[in-house]
Chains A and B, each alone.
Chain A
Amino acid sequence: MKKYTTIFFILFTLLSSAQLPKEYLNQPANLKPIIKLDNSIMQCVYQHTTYDPDLEKYEDTYEILEIGSNYSKYGNYGAYQLDSALHTYNGATLTNGQYAILFKKYDPNYECIIKNKKNENLEHYGKVFIDYYIYEEPIPQIKWELEGGKAIICGYTCHKATATFRGRQWTAWYSDIPVDNGPWKLGNLPGLILKAEDATGEHIIEAIILKQDKASIGYRKFLYSRTTREKYNKSLKEYKEEAHKFFQGELQPQNPDGTPMNIPKRKLFYNPLEKE
C-alpha cells in the first residue's frame, strides 16, 4: 500500500509540473503487467454525458466497449488509447518521464467491467481513492420492453427498448449488429446497444465510433481487494461526497511547521449509474 501511495504521489506531483529529479525521470517505468483474456473483434466508443445535480454540472467522458469471442470489456477510452500507445514500444524501454507524458496526454483511469460469456458472470474493477477493488456478480438479465420507435445512431438503424434497472428507468436503442452487449452493464437485447439514456437525463451514453482494431482484451494487474457490489458502491459514494476524510493518518498532508493540514470539505463530481 505504501509503495502504491508513493508512486501515486510522485506521479501526481510530476503531473502538477513540479520538478522531479532527472534520475527518476530517466529510470525505466515499472508498469503493472496486463492480464490478457481475449482478442477483440470489434470496438465501440461511447460518449457518456453525466449530470451531477449537486454541483449542477455536466461532464463528458469517453468509454470503449471491446467485444471478444468470450469476453467483453467496458472501460475508459483514455486507458485504451494509452495501452495502444504503449504497444508501440514493443519491448523497448519506456522511462518514467516518457510514461508521465503519455499518462498526462490520455488521462486514463483503469476502472472497467469485464463480462465472461462462458460463466455468465461479470467482474467490476474499480478504485476508491487510491485503493483498487473488484467485485463479481452474474451478468444482469435485464427485462426489456420492446417499443416501436426507430432512430439512426452512429449510422445504424436502431430499435427502442425500455427497462427499469437498479433504480433507473433506461431507454436503450439497439442495432441489428448481433451482439448481446452494450455500455456499462446494459445488455440482454438482440443487438448491440448504441445509445442508452435514463429518464432523468442524468446519464446519456451514445456510440460515436464503431471500428475493428486488432487489439487484445485484458486488465492491469493492480492489487485488487475483493468486495461486494453494495460495499463498493457505498464506499465510492462516501469518497466522492467527503474526499477530505480519506486524507488521514500517513496520507494527511502537513503544514511547514509539521502540524496536520486541514483539507477543506468538497464534493467530487459524481452521480452513480446504479441507485440500488
Chain B
Amino acid sequence: MNRVCCILVMLLYSVTLCCAQLTISGVITTQDGESIVGASVRVTNSDNKILAYAISNTLGKYTITLNDTLPRQLCITYSCIGYKKIVRTIECKDAIEVIDIQLQEENFEIEEIIVKAPAIKRIGDTIQYNVGAFASQADRSIEDVIKRLPGIQVDNSGRIFYNGEAINNFYIEDMDLLGGRYAIATQNINPDEIATVSIYENHQPKQVLKDVVISDRAALNLRLKDKSKLRPIGYAHAGGGYGEGINWLGELFGMQISEKNQTIVTAKGNNTGNTYIHETQLLTDNKTDETVAYNIFTQHPFGTINIPTSRYYRNTSASTSVNTLFKIDKHLKIRAYADYSYENNNYFNEVEIGYMSIDNASIRVVESNRARLNNHIVNVNFNIENNNNRSYISNDLALKGRFCDNTYNVNNNNILQQSLNNNDYHITNEFAGIFKNGRNIFDVKSLISFGSTPRNEIVATIPATDSLIVTQIATGMAFHTLESTSYSWLISQVSLLGIEASFEAFYDRFSSQNDPIPTPSRQGNEVSGYKIVTSVVPFYQLKNEHLTWRTEIPLRMYDIEYRNIITGAKHPLHKPYIDIKSSLYFNLFGSIKTTLSIGRDHTIGDIQDYITTPIYTTYRQQIALGTGNLGIRSNNYISLSANYRNSIEGIFASLRTSYNVITSNEISTTSITADEVTYGHITTDNKGSNANLFFNLSKNQRNWNTTFTLSGGAIYLKRMTQRESQLLNVKTQNYSIGADIHSTFWNERISGRVNLRYGVTSQTTDMQTDNTNLHDWLLTAELSVFPVTSLEIFYTLHYNKSDLATNSSAENIFMDSGIRYKDKDWVVELRGKNLTNAQVYSYSYINNYDTYTYSCLLRPIEFILSFQYSF
C-alpha cells in the first residue's frame, strides 16, 4: 500500500514538473538569413513570470540556461523592434533545446507618451511642489500659489503653516535672507520667477544636530528658475484713482539672487487701504521681550473689526526695507537688514458692549469712535552664522524702535478725546554655539535683551469744556539675559543622554501714575525687581528607524524678589519646581507621522503680579494686573498630532488634539458700573481645563486641476472667574468647519476659488439660564476669466452672515472686480472695490460673559487704475 502511494505521488509530481536543468539556444535571423543583433528572448511560465532571458549577440546567437526545477511547459517569446513577435511553447522533456527563429519585418509603432513633470515630488523628507503645476494666470505673487498647495495654509498676516504647524524657517535658494520676515518675499515675488516650492519636513536647521535632535517643524524653500538668477528682478507699480478722495499708490520691489549674495530692496507707499506693517513683521518664532509698560495700552482701545483693514482704514502708508546676505564660504554667512514703516490710519467704529451683572440684568454701553493712528517702526538686524556638521556658531543683534501718536474721538453721550503717545526701544543680542566632538555635543547660548518704554501715556479730555478726565502714564524697563550650556553623550547609535544647565535673569521696572502729581487717593504703581531661574534639565533620547522617544525632567530653582517702592513691601520667593516632558515620535501604520506628548510644567509669575493699583486703559476702563501675590500656575497636558501625506496622490491630512488641566492660584475679576469697568485679579485656588481638536484634509486632483480642502476645529474651555464678588464658572465652546475648492479649467481660461466656513460659539455661565450661541457664516469666492491670454476679468465676493448679541443678525457683502491687461513686461489694471457700496460692517463675539457688537464704517466704492512694469 505504501509503495503504491509512493508511485502515485511520483507520477503526480512528474505530471506538473520537469527536469532540473534546461539549455535553450539558437540563432535569430531575418527572413533573408541575416543575423539579428539585440533581439530579446524571454522564457516565462504559465503565470507569465519571467524565469530567464537572453539577448542575441552579433551573430544572432542566444543561449539560456535554466537551473531551477521547471514546469512541464515553458513559453518562449522572441521579439525585436522592427520585427513581428514570435511565441513558442515547449515541453520540458530534454535537457537541451535548439530553436532557430526567423523574424518577419513589421512596422514598429509605440504609444507615444509624455509624462507631465510631477506636480508634487517626494525626495526623502523633502516635498517639492512644481510651481508651474499649481500657478494660475490670476496669481499676483508667489503667496497666491503657496496658498493653493495641498498641505499648506497661509493666514491673513502671511504666516505659513504646514500640516497645521507654523514653519520654523523660510529660505530662498537654501539661504535665510529675511530672518523670518518672509512676507517681504512671498507677497512680492512673481510666481514666474520660481521653479519649485519645497517643504523640508522635520527640519533641523543646525547641521551639527542633524539626526541627533529631532524637530517637529517644517521649513519652506523657494528655488528660482535659472533665468531669474544672477540678474535684478522685480517690479515698479504706480497708480491713481478716486473713492472718498483721490487715491494713489507707488511701489518698487527689487531682488537679486546669486550663489554668493542675495539682496531684496523695497520702497512702497499708498492710501488705498493696504498697510505694510505685516510685510516686515517676524513670522517665525519671536524673540523680542516687551516691557510691561508697552503692552498696557492697546492701539485699539475701542475695538476693531475681523475683516482686512483695507476695507475700513483711511490710510497713508509707507515702507522701505533693505535686506542683504553674503555667503562667505560654504558654511559662513553674514546677513543684515533694515526697515522703516510709517502708518497713518483712520477709521470709524461703534461698539456696543453688553455687560452681564450677577442679577441677570445687563449694563449696556455704546461708544462711537473716530480713531487716528500714527505709527513709526524701525528695525535693524545683523547676523553672522557658521553652520557645519561639526559646529554651529551664530550671533544675532537686533534693534527696534516704535513710536506712536494716536488720537481717539469718542462719543458716549459726551464728546471726548483720548490720546495715546508711546515711545519704545529695544536691543537684543543672541549668541549660540554648538560643538560636536565624536560622541560629545557641547551647547552654549547667551541671550541679552534690553527694552525701555520711556514714554507711554494716555490722556482723555472733554474738548468742549477743556476739562481733563484721565491722565495715565506708564513707563518701564526690562532687562533679560539667558545663558545656557548643555552636554550630550551619544551612548550608542540610537541612544543619547545629556544635561542642560541654564541661568536666566529678568530685571523689570514699572511705574504708573494717573495724575501729574500723585496724591494718596490717586497713587500709581512703582515696582521693580528681579527673577532668576536656574535650571538643570537632564534628558534622554532614544532614536531608531521606527521611533524617537525623548524625555526631559527640568528642575528649576526660582529666586524672585519684587519690591513695591511706594509701600516698601518686598515679595521674595525662593523655591524649586520640577517639570516633566516626554514625547514619542513614530509612524503609525507605516505612513502616518505621529507625535504623542505628555507633561507637566509650571508658569511662575513676574512683576505684573505686583502691579495692583488699577491703571486706566481708556477713559472708563481700568485694569489691575496683579493681586500682590506671585501667580503660580501648573499645567498638566497631553497632546497628539498625526500627519499623513501621499505626494503622488496629492493627499495631505493632519490632526491635532490636546487636553490641558490648569491649576492656578488666581482668577480674573470684573467690577462693572454704568460709568466704569475695572478688571483685576484675585488670589484663589482654582482649576480649569481646555481641550481642542483641529483637522485639515486636502486633495490635489491633478487631472481636474483642482485642490479640495476640508478643515475644522473644536475648542472647549472651562474656567473660573469673579463678577461683582461672586465666583462663577464659565464654559465656552467653539466649533468651526470649512471647505475650500480651487480649480482652473477650460485650458486655464477660467480660474476659480470658493471658500465656505461655518462657526458657532456657545457659552454658559452659572448666572445664565440659557446658552449664548453666536453663529457665523462666511463665503468667499474668486473668479478670473481670460477671454484671451493677455486679458483677465476678475471678480471677488465676500459674504458674511453673523449673529449679533442683540438677537438679530447682520449680513455683510463685499464685491470687488476689475480688468487686467498684460503685454510682455507691462500690466495695466483697473480695479473697483466695494462695488455694492456697503457702508457698514457688523459682527459680535463673546468675551467671558459679556457680548461685544462692533460696527465699522467701510471705505466706500472706489476705483484705481495702475501700471506695473516687471524687470
- List CB contacts (< 8 Å) of B48-64 with chain A: 49-50, 52-55, 57-58
- The reply to whether the CB of A234 lies closer than 8 angstroms to some CB of chain B is no
Which interface residue of A119, A178, A189 has the most chain B CB atoms within 10 A?
Answer: A178
In the complex formed, the residue of A with least CB distance to B260 is A264
Q: Which of A42, A70, A117, A190 contacts B41 (CB 8 A)?
A: A190
Interface 9-residue window, one of B74-82, B280-288, B510-518, B521-529: B74-82
Give the CA-CA distance A70 to B80 in the complex, in Å: 12
Residues 19-34 of chain A, each 1 if its beta carbon lies under 8 Å from chain B, else 0: 0000000000000000
Asked if B113 contacts A120 (CB within 8 A), the reply is no
Q: A120-B58, A212-B109 are in contact. Are A178 and B80 (CB under 8 A)?
A: yes
In the assembled complex, the CB of B62 is this many whole angstroms from the nearest CB of chain A, namely 11
- The reply to whether the CB of A177 lies closer than 8 angstroms to some CB of chain B is yes
Contacts of A124 in B (CB 8 A): none
Asked if A190 contacts B81 (CB within 8 A), the reply is no
Q: Which of B49, B53, B58, B115 contacts A190 (CB 8 A)?
A: B53
- The reply to whether the CB of A211 lies closer than 8 angstroms to some CB of chain B is yes
Contacts of B868 in A (CB 8 A): none
Q: How large is the interface on B (under 10, 10 to 19, 20 to 34, 35 or more residues)?
A: 20 to 34
Asked if B55 contacts A190 (CB within 8 A), the reply is yes
In the complex formed, the residue of B with least CB distance to A188 is B55
Q: Is the interface of B mostly helix, strand, loop or mixed?
A: loop
Residues 193-216 of chain A, each 1 if its beta carbon lies under 8 Å from chain B, else 0: 000000001000001111110000
Give the CA-CA distance A41 to B37 in the complex, in Å: 15
- List CB contacts (< 8 Å) of A35-77 with chain B: 41-42, 47, 49, 51, 55-58, 67, 69-70
Contacts of B111 in A (CB 8 A): 155, 210
- The reply to whether the CB of A273 lies closer than 8 angstroms to some CB of chain B is no
In the complex formed, the residue of B with least CB distance to A54 is B330
Give the CA-CA distance A81 to B608 in the complex, in Å: 71
Q: A154-B115, A178-B85 are in contact. Are A190 and B57 (CB under 8 A)?
A: no
In the complex formed, the residue of B with least CB distance to A213 is B112
Q: A117-B38, A212-B109 are in contact. Are A180 and B114 (CB under 8 A)?
A: no
Give the CA-CA distance A164 to B799 in the complex, in Å: 63
Asked if A209 contacts B114 (CB within 8 A), the reply is yes
- The reply to whether the CB of A10 lies closer than 8 angstroms to some CB of chain B is no
In the complex formed, the residue of B with least CB distance to A148 is B49
Contacts of B115 in A (CB 8 A): 154-155, 207-209
What total of A-B pairs shows CB separation below 8 Å?
79
Q: Is the interface of A mostly helix, strand, loop or mixed?
A: loop
- The reply to whether the CB of A108 lies closer than 8 angstroms to some CB of chain B is no
Give the CA-CA distance A191 to B82 in the complex, in Å: 14
Q: A117-B58, A208-B117 are in contact. Are A41 and B82 (CB under 8 A)?
A: yes
Contacts of A209 in B (CB 8 A): 113-115
In the assembled complex, the CB of B111 is this many whole angstroms from the nearest CB of chain A, namely 7
Asked if A117 contacts B50 (CB within 8 A), the reply is no
- The reply to whether the CB of A163 lies closer than 8 angstroms to some CB of chain B is no
Give the CA-CA distance A188 to B55 in the complex, in Å: 7
Question: Chain A residues in contact with chain B, CB under 8 A?
Answer: 41-42, 47, 49, 51, 55-58, 67, 69-70, 107, 117-120, 146, 148, 154-156, 159, 177-180, 188-191, 201, 207-212
Question: Chain B residues in contact with chain A, CB under 8 A?
Answer: 37-42, 49-50, 52-55, 57-58, 79-82, 85, 108-115, 117, 123-124, 174, 226, 330
22 A-B pairs, CB-CB below 8 angstroms?
A41-B81, A49-B123, A51-B123, A58-B123, A67-B81, A107-B226, A118-B37, A120-B57, A120-B58, A155-B111, A155-B113, A156-B113, A177-B81, A178-B85, A180-B38, A190-B40, A190-B55, A201-B123, A201-B124, A209-B113, A212-B109, A212-B110
